A = this chain, B = another copy of it.
């Protein structure tokens, strides 16, 4: 007999619509038109205005011939047009390509060409690099300048029109385009790979919708949450928070730069409830002179990723009024796909034990279906013993569509039906994963694997070490040995020999760095230490 539940119960427009985060803004714009959506300097923009402007942007793009499958590129700091682009670009059917504001002109040119960019919106402060990039690129996009009225910048105006003039041409009642299918692309983010050309990670409407809700549920974010933009929005679409905020009719507080006093002022003046950032943002907050700090209106939820938060930072953040949650993910997983989901029972542990537990990356985010540590050769899960190393793999609806125009890389990334992160880790008996290293960060010395993270952890226990990165240094006899690059705290008089002696207290002999170098560490805009630069550096030593 045929299945009665499969007959005469088909999809139709009444019971099936594509999932898209664009529907969040349509809702907030009509239900809470007067509520503040965006704060930037002295600017306050309501949801009614935000929704109208997003439609104007979509309309203006449409009038210039931009439509389904076209790429619109933005080189913008965390300013209102960046929030608007997260809606206005896909409302024209187009794909939002966010460019990392730290990249050099050559890589920007590569991205514009590879994505066949039709339009570029560029901040005036970043004009010099965009000018060089446009000169290098074959693509001939329409160029729109954003000349921030709140924070006037110097620099050329490159394009044919300024952003406000451009959208003034658009219809605020534009009948914006729903995706034809929730699998349609919504955005494009290039990974800053350490080798080869950057890969263009494509997100779809379905995943953006689900991760946006996943953020809200995971953090129990309330209606009208107030979010401070210390995480760059160009980074995995700000972990999808531009979409989460509209789902909650919340407020985005923009910040052009992560600086001490503006952050504290924003926290206090706008009663911020949530913010995200790499550990460097926490350090910047904590290092603020007392006179510039402000009293917080309530506990602030701080979501961090990129590196496990150290014990002292956790303690200092707690005392300062922040609750820190450790997340983990990759560009390929829309940002956060793993959360260090805290157990109430752990509250009773001492600071050191809590920091050890909080250093683990954790468990799958609610909208992720699978998170495992597997042997990439056999594709078998490793034992959940907290020791056996394997590759962290993801499966689910918040994994990218694939890499743009790169079927070989896409196929390799999805081999065996799982997304291969390239990160090495272990599975603890309680189901929490912990990263041990990037594959390429393993140092192989005399045939023995050395985890650079393990060596770094010992350095961090020394009170004078502010930051450290350990990379492989070529060695005639051992093949490789560890080399440590160290930033010391201000005023320290410690020597490399002191630190090597300190390492002997906590590391097997073969793991002790043969060399310790004191210098500032190169970091990405998100605070990630750029080990590839240090690997170049090590050859010059």
Q: Chain A residues in contact with chain B, CB under 8 A?
A: 3-17, 19, 23-24, 27, 30-32, 34, 68-69, 95, 116, 183-185, 202, 210, 213, 216-217, 220-224, 247-248, 341, 343-345, 363-364, 366, 369-370, 394-397, 399-402, 404-407, 410, 413-414, 417-419, 431
Contact = CB atoms under 8 A, between A and B. Distances in A.
B366 A27 contact: yes
15 contacts: A3-B69, A4-B116, A5-B184, A5-B202, A5-B401, A15-B395, A15-B401, A15-B419, A16-B397, A19-B210, A30-B363, A30-B431, A31-B341, A216-B216, A223-B341
Contacts of A216: 216-217
A209 to B, nearest CB: 9
Contacts of A399: 14-15
A248 B34 CA distance: 31
B343 A11 contact: no
A68 B396 CA distance: 23
A402 B16 CA distance: 12
Given A14-B413, A17-B369, A220-B221, 13 more contacts: A4-B405, A5-B95, A5-B184, A5-B404, A6-B69, A11-B183, A12-B414, A14-B399, A15-B401, A16-B397, A213-B366, A216-B217, A220-B223
A369 B23 contact: yes
Contact of A400 (B6, B13, B15, B418): B15
A15 to B, nearest CB: 4
A382 to B, nearest CB: 16
A221 B216 CA distance: 10
Given A397-B15, A419-B14, A4 B404 contact: yes
A366 B8 contact: no
Contacts of A405: 4, 7-8
Contact of A31 (B32, B418, B431): B431
* Residue from A223, A341, A369 with most neighbouring chain B CB atoms (10 Å): A369
Pick the 6 closest A-B CB pairs, nearest first.
Answer: A3-B69, A13-B417, A5-B185, A9-B401, A220-B222, A8-B407
Nearest to A17: B369
Taking chain A's interface residues, is the majority helix, strand, or loop, or is none over half, making it mixed? loop
A421 B369 CA distance: 34
Given A8-B407, A31-B363, A220-B223, A394 B14 contact: yes
A248 B341 CA distance: 11
A27 B221 contact: no
A17 B68 contact: no
Contact of A396 (B17, B410, B431): B17
* Residue from A14, A19, A417 with most neighbouring chain B CB atoms (10 Å): A14
B410 A8 contact: yes
A430 B460 CA distance: 57
Contacts of A394: 14
Nearest to A2: B69
Contacts of A116: 4
Nearest to A8: B407
A96 to B, nearest CB: 12
A5 B115 CA distance: 10
Nearest to A23: B369
A5 B364 CA distance: 27
Contact of A248 (B13, B32, B217, B419): B217
A344 B224 contact: yes
Contacts of A30: 363, 431
B8 A217 contact: no
A341 B11 CA distance: 29
Nearest to A215: B217
A479 to B, nearest CB: 34
Contacts of A11: 183
A431 to B, nearest CB: 5
Contacts of A13: 395, 417-418
Contacts of A344: 224
Contacts of A202: 5, 9
Nearest to A417: B13
A67 to B, nearest CB: 10
A294 to B, nearest CB: 23
A405 B1 CA distance: 14
A364 B400 CA distance: 29
A217 B213 contact: yes
A310 to B, nearest CB: 24
B15 A402 contact: yes
Nearest to A364: B27
B417 A12 contact: yes
A11 B401 CA distance: 7
A180 B399 CA distance: 19
Given A5-B95, A5-B202, A14 B414 contact: yes
